[in-house]
């Protein structure tokens, strides 16, 4: 079985210090939903990536656990620190805490389960990812918490039946699986680019736009794209207790994962019950705005959490 890789990501700036709500978080209207969605509190998001800086001041309070599935750190399963940078950045977009310094994530009180499935060089075996998904499905938190969302900003060129099978299993267990579309786009929606697991029908495949709502030239287009989110010049946490500005569909994906944590809390409170994966997907699609690029480029459109706030939950 071939390797799975991080999509090529552009790092444009590293900051020692910042104090702001990232523009991507603002663009999807997350702050307007924080109070009604309890900031994502109680929702566990499994981040399958290169690990995470566990003691980053903007992240440490939201990390509920983790595991290493790679051969890094001599294969020690209890060492899941980020020895790259990608996973720390993704985790921050999902759930960096709201502490009036640094940055803040889309769901600043959501819990992060850090599953290291990619090595320091940004590559990983398909089996590592399969094992991590299985682990996420079986994992239970100290208060009986379960993983509700899996986010994967990674991909490979080959369709793996074993990977597809475990993703189907996750969705059947009512876990939302969010995946990056990939960065091999040629700016032509009529020529499809497929990367797995993003291209599987069962996942929520996320493309990228810039901070002005223009489709990113690198964003993969195909008939399985579900929606787009900010993925160009995205500010988030970075190893060394720093902050980085990165671009890629990898950066768009955690915006959707964090948004789903907010949607879960808001909608389940309003319905008075636990919603299924398909019901939550429908609620996500309600919170999009068409941009005019067509379904193969943007799916349902740009994520905007405020859109459904003006609608009845039904």
Please, what sign has the CA dihedral across residues 284, 173, 70, 140?
positive
- List 49, 72, 82, 210, catalytic entry: 49
Residue 49 annotated in active site: yes
Residue 250 annotated in active site: yes
- List 84, 86, 164, 255, catalytic entry: 86
- List 58, 153, 250, 255, catalytic entry: 250
Residue 84 annotated in active site: no
**What residues are labeled active site?**
49, 86, 250
């Amino acid at each position: 079985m071939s390797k799975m890789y991080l999509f090529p990501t552009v790092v444009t700036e590293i900051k020692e210090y910042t104090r702001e709500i990232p523009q991507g978080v603002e663009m999807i209207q997350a702050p307007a939903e924080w109070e009604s969605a309890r900031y994502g509190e109680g929702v566990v998001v499994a981040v399958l990536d290169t690990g995470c800086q566990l003691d980053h001041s903007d992240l440490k309070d939201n990390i509920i656990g983790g595991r290493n599935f790679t051969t890094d750190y001599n294969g020690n399963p209890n060492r899941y620190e980020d020895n790259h940078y990608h996973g720390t950045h993704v985790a921050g977009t999902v759930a960096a805490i709201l502490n009036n310094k640094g940055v803040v994530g889309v769901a600043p009180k959501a819990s992060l389960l850090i599953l290291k499935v990619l090595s320091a060089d940004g590559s990983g075996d398909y089996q590592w990812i399969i094992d991590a998904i299985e682990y996420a499905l079986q994992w239970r938190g100290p208060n009986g918490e379960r993983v509700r969302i899996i986010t994967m900003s990674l991909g490979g060129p080959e369709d793996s039946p074993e990977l597809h099978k475990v993703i189907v299993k996750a969705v059947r267990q009512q876990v939302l699986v969010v995946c990056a579309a990939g960065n091999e786009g040629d700016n032509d929606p009529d020529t499809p680019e497929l990367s797995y697991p993003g291209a599987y029908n069962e996942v929520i495949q996320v493309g990228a736009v810039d901070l002005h709502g223009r489709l990113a030239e690198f964003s993969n287009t195909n008939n399985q794209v579900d929606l787009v989110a900010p993925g160009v010049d995205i500010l988030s946490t970075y190893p060394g207790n720093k902050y980085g500005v990165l671009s890629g569909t990898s950066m768009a994906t955690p915006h959707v994962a964090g948004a789903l944590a907010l949607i879960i809390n808001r909608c389940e409170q309003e319905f008075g019950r636990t919603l299924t994966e398909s019901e939550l997907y429908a609620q996500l699609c309600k919170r999009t705005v068409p941009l005019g690029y067509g379904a193969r480029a943007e799916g349902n459109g740009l994520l905007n959490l405020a859109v459904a706030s003006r609608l009845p939950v039904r």
